[in-house]
Chains A and B, each alone.
Chain A
Amino acid sequence: MDDMEDTTIFSTLKSFKSLISGPDHSLLETEPAYGRSDLQKLYTKRVELEEAAERVRSHTSLLQLTQEKQQMELSHKRARIELEKEAHSSSRDLQREIDRNRELLLKIRRLEEREEKANQALNEQMENNKALKRNLEELHKKANVKDSKLTEADQMISELKDETRRLNQKIQIQESKFSTQNLEIQALQEQLDVQRKKYQDVSQRYQNLQSSHSISTESELKMKELERRLALQEQDSVIVKNMKSEMVRLPELEREIKRLREENCFLRETKENNSLLKEETEGLRKKLERVERVMEEKLKAELEKEKLEQELQAWENIGQAAGLNIRKPEDLSREVIQIQQRELNLKQQNYTLNSRLKQMLLRVAAENKKNEQQQKLEMLLDSRRERDGMRAILESYDSELATSEYSPQLMFRVKEAEDMLQKVQAHNTEMETQLSKAQEEAGSFKLQVQMVKMTLYLYTCMCLFFRQKIEELEAERQRLEEQNNILEMRLERHNLQGDYDPVKTKVIHLQMNPTSIAKQQHAEEVEQLRLECQLLRDRIRKIEAGGGVTKDDTTLIIPPSQEILDLRKQMESAELKNQRLKEVFQKKIQEFRTACYVLTGYQIDITVENQYRLTSVYAEHMEDSLLFKSTGPVGSGSMQLLETDFSRTLTGLVDLHLFHQKSIPVFLSAVTIELFSRQTVT
C-alpha cells in the first residue's frame, strides 16, 4: 500500500512538474509574439497550474493522510493484536499462577495435615513410652518381691531336708517290721489255701446234692403230668369209644332220620289230606244233616201223604158210597182244569224260578251255602205250600167230593196230579241238585270271572301304564339323541381346536424349541436396543450441555470440547476486535467529517448510493442542500449536480462555474461566499 501510494505521489509530482514545465516552455516561447493576451494566457495558465498544483497537493495530502491513516490503523491493529496476545499470555500466566497457587496451597495444606498427624503420632509415642517406663518400674518391683520370696523358699527347703532325713530313718525301722509281718502272712495264707480246698470240695458235693434234688423234683413233676395225661387219655379213650359207638349208630340214625323225614313228609301229606278230609267230612256232615233233614221232611211228607191217601181213600170210600152228580164232573173238570192250570202255573213258576235262578246265577257273584239252604228251604216251603195248596185243593176237592160224587176219573186225575206232584218234586230235587251244582259252578265261574276281570283290569292298567312309560321313554330317547348329537358336535369342535382330557393325556414339547429360542432372541434384541437408546440419549444430553468439566465414562466426547472452547475463544476475540475496529473507524470518520465540515464549509452526507448531499455552514434554511451524483466508474470522481430547490436559486453560479468553468470546488466556494455574504450583510 505504501509503495502504491508512493508511486501515485511520485506520478502526481511528475505530472505536476510536467504541467509546470509545460506552460513555462509555452510561456517562454510565446512571450515575444503576443503581449497582454499572452500574459493573460500565462496568468490563466498559471492559475490553472496553481489550481492543478493545489489539486495535486490536496491529492497528495489526501493520499498522505490516507496513508498515515492506514499506517495508523495498521499500527493500531498491530498494537491491538500484540496487546491482546500479551493479554492472553498474561491471562494464561495468571491462570497458571493461580493454578500453581492453588496447588501450592493444597500442598501446604497436605503438609500441614501431615505435620499435624506426625505431631499426633509423636505425642502418642511419647505417651506409649511413658506407659512402658511405668510398666518397667512395676516389673522391677515385682522382681524384687520375687527375690525376697525365693530366699524364704530356700530357707524352707533346708528345713524340709532335715525332716526328710528323720523320716527316712523311721521308714527303715518300719520296713524291718513289715518284713517280719510278711512272713507271718505267708504262713497264714498257706493255711487259708488248705481250707479253701476243703471248702471247694464241700461246695461241690452240695451242688451235686442240689442238682440231684432238683432232678428228682422235676421227675416227680413229670410223673404227675404224665399221670394227668394218662387220665385225660383214658377219658379221651372212653369218649372215643362212646363216639365210636355213636358213630356206629350214625348210619342207623341216618336211616332213621331218612325214615323220619319220609314219615314227616308222609305225615304232613296225611295232615294235609286230613285237613282236606276233615273239610270234606264237614261238608259231607252238613250234607248229611241236610239230607237227613230232607229225609225227615220227606218222611214227614210221606206220612202226610199216607195220611192224605188214607183220607183220600176214606173220601173215595165215602165218594164211592155216595152217588155221582151232574155238576160234579164239570166242577171236577173245572177243578181238574184248575188243577192243571195250577200245575201249569207251577210249571211256569218252576220255569220262571229256573230262569230267575239262572238270572240270579248270572247276576249274583258268590252265594253262600246258607243261601242255598235258604233257597232249598224256600223250595221246600214252596213245596210245602204247594202241598198245602194241594191239601187245600184236595180238601176243597174232598169237601166238594163230600157233597158230590166222585168218579174214578177224578181219582185217576188225582193220582195223576199226585204223580205229577211227585214228578215235580223229583224234578225239584233234581233241579235243586242241579241248582246246587250250577251254583257251585257259578260260584267258581264267578270267582274265575272276577279273577279274570281283575286280571284284565290289571292288565289294562298295566297296559296303559306301560304305554305311558313307553311314550315317556321315547320322548326321553329323542331328547337324549339330540343331546348326544350336540355333544358329539361339541366334542368334534373341541377336538379340532385341540382340546384334550387331562386325566388321560398330557402335552409335551422340547425345552429348546424354536419358539422359545426366538422369543429369547427377540427379548435380547429389545434389551440391546434399549441400552443403545439410553447411551445415545446420554450422549445427546452431554453434547447439548457442552461437554464441560466432568469427564464421563463415555470415551467419545472428550477431544472436540477443548477445540470447541478454543475456537469459541477465538471467535469471541475476533468479534471483540471487530467491534473495537468499528468504534475506532466511526470515531475517525466522525472526526474527518467534522474536519471537512469545518474546513470546507459543507456537510457531505451520502443519502443514496452514489448521491451526495451537501449542506452549507451558512445555509439559511436547514433544507437548503445541493445534490451531487457520481457518474462513471467508482473512484473516478466525476460528479453531476442534481436539481434541488436550493440549486434553482443558484442558477447564475451554476451556469458560470459548472457549465462554463466546469469546476465543482469553485462552484462550491462561490456558493459559500454567496451565502456568507448574504448572512453578513443581513
Chain B
Amino acid sequence: MSKTLKGITLKGSAELVAEFFSFGINSILYQRGIYPAETFTRVTQYDMSLQLTTDAKLKNYLTNVISQLKEWLFDCTVQKLVVVITCLETNEVLERWQFDLECDKTAKEGSAPREKSIKAIQEEIRSVIRQITATVTFLPLLETACAFDLLIYTDKDLEVPEQWEESGPQLIDQSEEVRLRSFTTTIHKVNSMVAYKRTNST
C-alpha cells in the first residue's frame, strides 16, 4: 500500500479502491459459485479471511480490468463498475452487483493529502464485504451454469482502449434491488447495491 502515512492522496485512494474491487469481485464469484470452490484459496486481507481465485485465465482477466480501472480512477473518469451474472443456457441476466463511484475532482495530482486514517477506511471496506457475504442468504439460488462479466460506466468522451468495446447495460428484466453499505476515502466514494431477478415464487 503505497500511500503517505499521514493522509490519502489521489493515487493512494485509487489504489485502495482498486484493491477493494479485486477482493470484492473474488468474494462475489466464490459466494455465488460461478467458479468451483476448490479453485479458490484463502488469504487474509482487511483483518479477515477472504477467498482468492487460483485460475490463471481468470486472474489474468481480473488484473487487466483492475489495472485499467486504477488508471481511470486516477483520472476520475469512471462512474460505475458492474458485475453481471448471466445464465448460459437462456442468456438471461440473473444478478447485477453495481458499485457507484463518486470522485472528488478537486483533489488533483499535487494537492495536499486528505486527513483520513487507513484503518478507518479498511474498517468500512470490511463491513461492506461482510455485508456482501451476508446478502447471499436472501439471494435466489443460481441453479444453472452461469458466467460473469465486468462492465464499466465511464464518461462519454473517454477514449476506449484497444481491447475494450462498448456494450449494453445488460439490465435485469423485473428486478428487486437492495442497497448495501458504502465507504469513502474522502477522494473516492463507493456505493454498493445488488439487483437480482425476481423469482416467480416470491
Contact = CB atoms under 8 A, between A and B. Distances in A.
A661 to B, nearest CB: 96
B47 interface: no
Nearest to B161: A508
B169 A508 contact: no
Contact of A515 (B147, B154, B195): B147
Nearest to A522: B88
A510 B88 contact: no
A545 interface: no
Interface in B133-173: 145, 147-156, 158, 160, 163-172
Given A511-B164, A514-B58, A496 B177 contact: yes
A513 B88 contact: no
A496 B164 contact: no
Nearest to B82: A498
Interface string A516-531: 1111001000000000
Contact of A509 (B89, B151, B179): B151
Given A497-B177, A519-B91, A507 B86 contact: no
B143 to A, nearest CB: 16
A522 B151 CA distance: 22
Interface in A389-436: none
B63 to A, nearest CB: 11
A499 B169 contact: yes
A505 interface: yes
B175 interface: yes
Nearest to A514: B147
Interface in A459-503: 493, 495-500, 502-503
A515 B86 contact: yes
Interface in A319-346: none
B165 A508 contact: yes
Given A507-B169, A508-B166, A510-B65, A496 B151 contact: no
Interface residues of A, number: 26
Interface in B48-106: 58, 61, 64-65, 79-80, 82, 84, 86, 88-89, 91, 96, 98, 100
Contacts of A515: 84, 86, 147-149
B154 A498 contact: no
Contacts of A510: 61, 64-65, 150, 163-165
Nearest to B35: A514
B151 A508 contact: yes
A545 B150 CA distance: 54
B118 interface: no
B193 interface: yes
A509 B195 contact: no
Interface in A553-607: none
Q: Which of B100, B147, B152, B168 has the most C-beta atoms of chain A within 10 angstroms of its own C-beta?
A: B147
Nearest to A516: B149
Contact of A511 (B80, B152, B165): B165
Contacts of B164: 508-511
A525 to B, nearest CB: 10
Contact of B166 (A507, A519, A522): A507
Contacts of B165: 508-511
Given A496-B177, A500-B169, A509 B98 contact: no
A660 interface: no
A504 interface: yes
A64 to B, nearest CB: 85
Contacts of A497: 96, 171-172, 175, 177, 195
B163 A500 contact: no
A513 B163 contact: no
A518 B152 contact: no
Contacts of B167: 507-509
B98 A498 contact: yes
Contacts of A509: 149-152, 164-165, 167
Nearest to A513: B149
Nearest to B88: A522
Contacts of A505: 79, 153-156
A514 B100 CA distance: 22
Contacts of B152: 507-509
Given A496-B193, A509-B152, A510-B61, 11 more contacts: A495-B100, A497-B96, A497-B171, A497-B175, A498-B170, A498-B171, A499-B169, A507-B168, A509-B165, A514-B61, A519-B91
Interface of B: 58, 61, 64-65, 79-80, 82, 84, 86, 88-89, 91, 96, 98, 100, 145, 147-156, 158, 160, 163-172, 175, 177, 179, 193, 195
